[in-house]
Amino acid sequence: MNIKVLFIFVLTLGIIKCNEISILNQTKFIVTKFYSLNGYNLTIKNTDSKLNAAVQQRLTEIYFDIYPRLINRFNTNAPRSIHVFIDGLNKYPYWGLAVDSTIIINSYRLRNPTSFARYYDIFLHELAHLVQQYTTRNLADVKWLGEGLADYVRYRYGGSNIDADWSLPDYTNKQFYYDSYKVTARFLIWLENKYNSSVIEQLDKGLRDVTYKQNTTWNELTGQSIEKLWLDYSRNSDLIANIPFIQVTKTFENDNITDDDPVN
C-alpha cells in the first residue's frame, strides 16, 4: 500500500472515531450510571429509553468479571476506567466501536436481535480492543489480525455465543487467513490448539509493541510461515473438541459494587 494512502487511511479512521465520540459527548443521556469495584470503574451513558435493565446489569457483570481477566492475560497497562455509550439514536452507524477507554454500542441496530446475548458478544469484542491498545503506526497492515484476536476473545470468553446466534465458521477453500473476524479467530483457535496457548498472547503483544512482522513473527513463534500454517490448517482444520469457554461466573449485588448516579 502506498505510504500516502496508508497515512490518509489511518488519519481518516482517527477522525471518524473522534467525531463519533464527540457527538455522543454532546448528547443528552437518559441515564448515566457509575460503577466501581476493586480498582475498576465503569460509566454507562444511555440514550435508549427501550433498553432492558437486565442488559445493563449483564454488561456490568461482564465488565467486572471478564475484563480484569483480559487485562491480566494480555495487557496489564490497559485502562481500568472505561465509558460505555449506549447509542439508541443511531448516531454511530455500526454495531460497536472501541477507542482509547471508550466503547460505543449501537442499541438502535440491536432492537430486534435474536436475544439480548448479542449485546454481550459485541461488548466482549470491544472490550478486547480496549485491552489491545494498538497504535495506528501499523493499523492498516494488521487490522485483520487485531479483529481476529478480538473475535478470539469473543469466542473464548463468550458464554452467550449460542444464544446470540454467533459462531465460528468451518473452513472452506474460499477463505484466507487475512479475512479477519470469525475466519481469523478460528484459525487462531486452531493455532493455539496445535502449538501452545502463549502464541495468542505473543501475537497480541507484537501488535501492541509494533514488533510484529508478517515475514518473521510467525516463524519465530511456530517455526512456520503464515502461508505454511494456513496450508496446514486447510488440510486439517478440525478443532479440539470441548474447547473450554470462559464464562461470567459472578452476579454482582449492590453490596459489592458502588453504584452512583452522577449528574448528566
Find residue 87's DSSP bridge partners.
106
Q: Which three cell numbers stand for residue 140?
A: 492498516
**Cα–Cα distance between 232 and 118 in angstroms, integer?**
33
Task: Name residues whose C-beta falls within 8 Å of residue 151's C-beta, 6 or more positions apart in sequence.
Answer: 125, 168, 181, 182, 184, 185
The H or E element containing residue 102 is strand 102-106
Give the total residue count for the chain: 264
Find the helix packing angle between 53-74 and 198-209, rounded to 10°.
90
**Cα–Cα distance between 160 and 115 in angstroms, integer?**
10
**In the predicted model, what is the mean pLDDT of the chain?**
81
Contact criterion met (CB below 8 Å) for 153 and 98:
no
Do strands 40-46 and 81-87 pair parallel, antiparallel, or not at all (unpaired)?
parallel
- Whose cell is 487475512? That residue is 178
What was the pLDDT predicted at 68?
97
**Cα–Cα distance between 103 and 123 in angstroms, integer?**
8
Lowest mean per-residue pLDDT among 16-20, 191-195, 239-243: 16-20
Is 50 exceeded by the pLDDT of residue 96? yes
Lowest mean per-residue pLDDT among 71-80, 87-96, 187-196, 216-225: 87-96
Q: What is the mean pLDDT of residues 147-174?
A: 87
Name the pLDDT band for 37 (thresholds 50, 70, 90): very high
Percent of the chain with pLDDT strictly greater than 90: 50
Cα 203 to chain centroid distance, Å, stands at 15
Name the pLDDT band for 49 (thresholds 50, 70, 90): confident
**Cα–Cα distance between 188 and 196 in angstroms, integer?**
11
Q: Which residue has the higher pLDDT, 159 or 263?
A: 159
The H or E element containing residue 109 is none
What was the pLDDT predicted at 90?
73
Q: In this structure, which amino acid lies at residue 198?
A: S
Beta-strand (E) ranges in 126-225? none
Q: What is the mean pLDDT of residues 203-216?
A: 94
Do strands 258-260 and 102-106 pair parallel, antiparallel, or not at all (unpaired)?
unpaired
pTM over 0.95: no
What was the pLDDT predicted at 256?
52
Find residue 32's DSSP bridge partners.
45
Q: In this structure, which amino acid lies at residue 67?
A: Y
Name the pLDDT band for 230 (thresholds 50, 70, 90): very high
Q: In this structure, which amino acid lies at residue 199?
A: V
Find residue 97's DSSP bridge partners.
104
Is 90 exceeded by the pLDDT of residue 91? no
User: Domains in the chain, ordered, with CATH?
Assistant: 29-135+249-260 (3.30.2010.30), 139-235 (no CATH)
pLDDT for 246-255, tens place per residue? 656 555 554 4
Name the pLDDT band for 239 (thresholds 50, 70, 90): confident
pLDDT for 126-153, tens place per residue? 999 999 999 866 566 789 999 999 999 9
